[in-house]
Structure 1
Amino acid sequence: MKEKKTVTRMQNRYIKDKETLNKARNRRRVALARRLAVLLVAVAVVFSALFVLYTKQTMLLQDKKAEKVKVEKKLADAKLEEKQLKGEISKLHDDDYIAKLARSEYYLSKEGEIIFNTPTEKKKREI
């Protein structure tokens, strides 16, 4: 059958120094692995924080761009309205236009004049 082999270790100074050196190397490897793991976690946390910050900033920028488009449209509408109102103001300085406006809007008439409303005039006003 099988024979049991027993090997005894030598107990001299060289063997003890080698064992001590191997234990120290193993401790350094474990410490290095721990430091690298901590460093890796720290880097992962920093990158994830930067990613979240970048994402929030991108979303904020998109919101601001959308708001800018809305405000620019509102500004263009306001400028168009301003132009129309300035035209209306310049027309209001004309006496003939004021008389025509008073007749059409407030149904004022000259002396002896009779005003008749026709259905086509009402449709034109509604449009």
Structure 2
Amino acid sequence: MNEKKSVTRLDSTYMDQYDAHVERQGRKKKRLLRRLALFALLTLIVTSSLAIYHVQQRMVYAEKKEEYEQLQEEMGSLKESEENLREEIELLNEEEYVLEIARSNYFFSKEGEIIFKLPNEEPSY
């Protein structure tokens, strides 16, 4: 039942050409597979490097955004401080305000006036 079929090979130019054709097709297939593997490897390298670059840029963006928000808050407080200082400058340009500060902080008095320093503390009784 297991009969082996044996076919004798004829040595002819056709068979030589056919063998050469089969061999060329095998080499072409092997080169194609190598090129596809190289292309896949290059695609993987480029894709992974772009992904890494994207992640790094997102991290830098997040840091810069946080720094920007912090600087915005600082700028708001500095503007408020600037406004307070401008108001103080306007008040210091008024003579009455300067005299009031001098009288309260440095005990300057008007002519014939006596200043009594009262303690700021509440009595303990």
TM-score, L = length of structure 1: 0.82
SS of 1:89's partner is helix
Task: Identify the range of structure 1 (17-26 vs 106-115) with the bigger mean alpha-carbon deviation.
Answer: 106-115
Give 1:125's aligned residue: none
Aligned residues between the structures: 119
Superposed counterparts of 1:84-123, under 5 Å = 84-104=84-104, 106-110=105-109, 111-119=113-121
State the Cα deviation string for residues 38-83 of structure 1 (Å, max 9, x = none). Answer: 1111111111111111111111111111111111111111111000
State the Cα deviation string for residues 69-117 of structure 1 (Å, max 9, x = none). Answer: 111111111111000000001111122212222333x251423121212
Q: Where does the alignment leave 5 or more consecutive residues of structure 1 unmatched?
A: 121-127
SS of 1:119's partner is coil
Q: Is the Cα contact below 8 Å between 1:102 and 1:108 reproduced in 2?
A: yes
Q: Where does the alignment leave 5 or more consecutive residues of structure 2 unmatched?
A: none
Distance 1:14 1:107, change over 3 A: same
- For residues 98 and 117 of structure 1, the distance between their equivalents in structure 2, rounded to whole angstroms, comes to 23
Identity %: 29
Q: Report the structure, 1 or 2, having the larger helix content.
A: 1
- For residues 116 and 4 of structure 2, the distance between their equivalents in structure 1, rounded to whole angstroms, comes to 137
